Structure 1
């Protein structure tokens, strides 16, 4: 009897956590801050506009925060937390170190929101809004985001290392990863279109140019003329922190990314493999021909990814880099939301 109970307990815990995650996701809604901070979305967009003017690459960097955040224990801004003496955060995880940047843009957004509506808008929701605005401000689609998330109380570097894909990942591995989050092949290809804007490092492609799959040769899928450009940008003994454009129109959100994949001009291995792999190729071809199809699928994928929730305890951080100081150990077991207001840990 005791043994059976021990076996049942983990299952019950899993069911309980899944229930919480479902409840948390169900509270996400459009216009969540319409009463508590009606200017919230305008404030986020204003800061993002200024960031775009100051450094166009920064908005592309912020847009990718949503993927790096939501895939690691849900959309809870865990990736924004700085390391502490007792916690290794996610900023130095393998897929993030020397790659994720422009955290200061989120800091600016949070500072502006705290002045307007102290303690109301979560950092997790800032990531969602800022990602949407990064796309819209660079020529892509605009969509209504669902808001109401809480911020995590901790981060986990190991989880990020175990989950986030490498630039060397192939389409098959990416399909398996997205499937775990109930995201389809169509979602994968559309969301990869986030590389329509921004840049990548030579570090991420040096193997493609000189030692693909341990052959000592370049990736045969790279267009020869494009490879000459990359060889010049990223010599074998060069600075691997040098960056190159992810597509031919790196400051405009459009379907050029997919056109480049069709012509063998994908920057990352994880990009180009979407065209060489049969299951993903059909969507690459579709989006390369029809930009509106890409935009619609991208919005659908971003909304689905934004719904990923862990159901873990949370709060509304006053500083996105650190959890709030508190005098109590009481934790929220789910986002307790009443009349469009967060009940957060103080």
Structure 2
């Protein structure tokens, strides 16, 4: 058993329907119209990351939440004066502002050189890849050619995103609805190797697991005690803890090693190891980081194809937070 890293880094947190357009996505989509788009976005992401490491998980999680609701069309970016857009749904209220800010700043940089050409949806996809690379994770090719969606409604979010209390069957079912396999799901869950979560998202595992035991028995006892110190009862709702105690800002396979030790923060994390059907994949990724990186890269490409708008669908927004007038 590894020695638990204490104290937990406690932080204040300001923090995934298939379509038919994927065949028209291609890496060189902007080859003539904006040949340096990926370089422009990478530079903007790097600048933002130099300001705050929250950029890493915030941008990656934003991409997941966008793609799992109406497809990868940047509809999660829309702001509404009536607070009824996707970002206003209860499941999205914990999305960190730094993710939105990363895309907004990258869009501004792209617009300065290639006005009216590159969609916010593509910029978000590129930025999600870049935060992975810049935090030590794998590089992979991003397919481009998405257009921005024209609909963003909070009412469309419910039931579309995985919850922290999901068991394996619910996780697999949700991902299959999005043309993603169980292996894709396990690989994409590895994004929890970076970032953090509010205490309220896992407090039931510490204080009210079931009628016979307060603490989830699948939790490593020392880990549970550390979580209780960081998240006492009635803790300030803005307090959050790292998903990975050991390398919280490095994209690596430590998340899976944590699961082997009973240190998965969510039920939906630890179940990947406690369920015998998914355990072999977790064990493989824990022992072979290159295998995890390959699986994660392939899953991210498939994720990026969900429900995309192409051709005459959607629009190229001038401002990622608002539909064109």
TM-score, L = length of structure 2 = 0.90
CA contact (8 A) 2:61 2:95 kept: no
2: distance between equivalents of 1:187 and 1:200? 22
What CA deviation, in whole Å up to 9, does each residue of 1:257-286 have, x standing for no partner? 000011001112211111111221111111
- The reply on whether 1:315 has 2:315 as its aligned counterpart is yes
Q: Specify the SS of the correspondent of 2:72.
A: coil
Aligned-pair CA distance for 1:290: 0.3
The one of 96, 121, 124 equivalent to 2:92 is 96
CA contact (8 A) 2:147 2:308 kept: no
Is structure 2 residue 160 aligned with structure 1 residue 167?
A: no
Q: Which structure is larger by alpha-carbon Rg, 1 or 2?
A: 1
Match of 2:253 among 248, 252, 255: 255
1:61 aligns with: 58
Q: CA RMSD in A?
A: 1.7
Q: CA deviation at 1:64?
A: 1.4
Q: Does 1:305 align with 2:310?
A: no
Deviates more, 1:285-294 or 1:303-312: 303-312
In structure 1, distance between residues paired with 2:54 and 2:32 = 33
User: Deviations along 1:293-325, whole A, 9 cap, x unmatched?
Assistant: 000000010001111125583000010000001
Partner of 1:34: 31
* 1:133-182 deviation digits (Å, cap 9, x = unpaired): 01000000001110000001121212212211221222221011011112
2:174 and 2:201 mapped to 1: Cα distance?
19
Give the Cα separation in 2 of the matches to 1:282 and 1:57.
31
Corresponding residue number in structure 2 for 1:287: 285
CA shift at 1:98, angstroms?
2.6
Deviation at 1:241, TM superposition (A): 2.1
Shift of 1:88: 1.6
Instruction: Tell whether 2:226 aligns with 1:237.
Output: no
Residue aligned with 1:34, SS: coil
Q: Which residue in the other structure is 1:49 paired with?
A: 46
| C-alpha deviation, 1:233, in angstroms | 0.4
**Residue 95 and residue 216 in structure 1: after superposition, are their counterparts in 2 closer, same or farther (change >3 A)?**
farther
TM-score calculated relative to the size of structure 1: 0.85
- Equivalent pairs counted in the alignment come to 305
Aligned residue number for residue 329 of structure 1: none
- TM superposition shift of 1:58: 1.6
* Aligned-pair CA distance for 1:93: 1.4
Distance 2:81 2:33 in 1: 32
Cα deviation, 1:2-30, whole Å, max 9, x if unaligned, reads xxxxxxxxxxxxxxx99xx42x2111001
The 2-side partners of 1:287 and 1:194 are apart by 13
More helix by share: 1
Any gaps of 5 or more consecutive residues in structure 1?
A: 1-16, 326-346
Deviation beyond 3 Å, 4+ runs, structure 1: 213-216, 310-313
Q: CA deviation at 1:101?
A: 3.0
Structure 1 contact 274–284 (Cα < 8 Å) conserved: yes
Specify which of 126, 129, 149 is matched with residue 129 of structure 1. Answer: 126
C-alpha separation in 1, matches of 2:203 and 2:120: 35
In 1, Cα distance between equivalents of 2:279 and 2:25: 33
Instruction: For 1:134-149, list aligned pairs within 5 A.
Output: 134-149=131-146
Change (3 A) 1:141 1:32: same
Determine helix, strand or coil for the equivalent of 2:87: coil
Residue number among 175, 188, 191 corresponding to 1:178 in the alignment: 175
Could you say which residue in structure 2 is the equivalent of 1:338? none
